[in-house]
Chain A
Amino acid sequence: DGGITQSPKYLFRKEGQNVTLSCEQNLNHDAMYWYRQDPGQGLRLIYYSQIVNDFQKGDIAEGYSVSREKKESFPLTVTSAQKNPTAFYLCASSIERGRNEQYFGPGTRLTVT
């Protein structure tokens, strides 16, 4: 079955540590996205990538970094510079960037203490 996988489902880290969230898709989609979800705030775009080896900042990129070395993979690193990293992180993909619907992974809940 085609889809998007995110691992792990739950992640716990101590303050000051960097942590990397995994996102893999086998839909053969060119575009991939990372969103952050906080209660009552909807989804906010962190980074997106239209093609391998290219990515762009979204609305709340500060304290985050990404890479896109393979079409299937778009890992997100939450750095120690992110002031409030505890959140639910969602990865999505679409066939190409544009008005196409986005397909979402199951999410990773990150808790930093």
Chain B
Amino acid sequence: AQSVTQLGSHVSVSEGALVLLRCNYSSSVPPYLFWYVQYPNQGLQLLLKYTTGATLVKGINGFEAEFKKSETSFHLTKPSAHMSDAAEYFCAVTDTGNQFYFGTGTSLTVIP
């Protein structure tokens, strides 16, 4: 069975500091992995995705994520946080494509 665990429902960082949002998954076959961002009362926007190939994936707004099979992880990072990064972030996994499984989300607060 597939599942996604996002460690830390709330993360706070100072403006300009490193952003690290954690995602671990379980999947019986090679997964496709996604990170989405959600601003208050809005839908989800795709930040980046991993399918096959290069394990370091770059996305929009300066975010990137690295697929580590041995650690079953797909953590999201950004070198320098901006106030506009404050939002909810969701990790999602699918293996066969029959269903996407979403994590419970991490709320990112950026402190000026």
A interface residue numbers (CB < 8 A to B):
4, 6, 9, 40-43, 45, 58, 88, 90, 92, 97-107, 109
Question: Mostly helix, strand, loop or mixed at chain A's interface?
Answer: loop
Q: Kindly supply a per-residue 1/0 record for chain B positions 82-100, scoring 1 wherever the CB is within 8 Å of any chain A CB and 0 otherwise.
A: 0000000010001011111
Q: Are B104 and A99 in contact (CB under 8 A)?
A: no
Q: How many pairs of A and B residues are in contact by the CB < 8 Å rule?
A: 48
Q: Are B97 and A43 in contact (CB under 8 A)?
A: no
A-side contacts of B32, CB under 8 Å: 99
Q: Are B46 and A99 in contact (CB under 8 A)?
A: no
Q: Decide: A101 near B9, CB < 8 A? Known: A41-B104, A90-B44, A107-B41.
A: no
Q: How far is the CA of A42 from the CA of B100 in the complex (A)?
A: 12
A-side contacts of B105, CB under 8 Å: 40, 42
B interface residue numbers (CB < 8 A to A):
9, 32, 34, 36, 41-46, 49, 51, 90, 94, 96-100, 102-105
Q: Are A43 and B90 in contact (CB under 8 A)?
A: yes
B52 to chain A, nearest CB (A): 10
B-side contacts of A4, CB under 8 Å: 43
Q: Are A42 and B102 in contact (CB under 8 A)?
A: yes
B107 to chain A, nearest CB (A): 10
A-side contacts of B100, CB under 8 Å: 45, 102
Picked from A99, A101, A103, A107, the residue with its CB within 8 Å of the CB of B42 is A107
Q: Decide: A45 near B99, CB < 8 A? Known: A99-B51, A101-B34.
A: yes
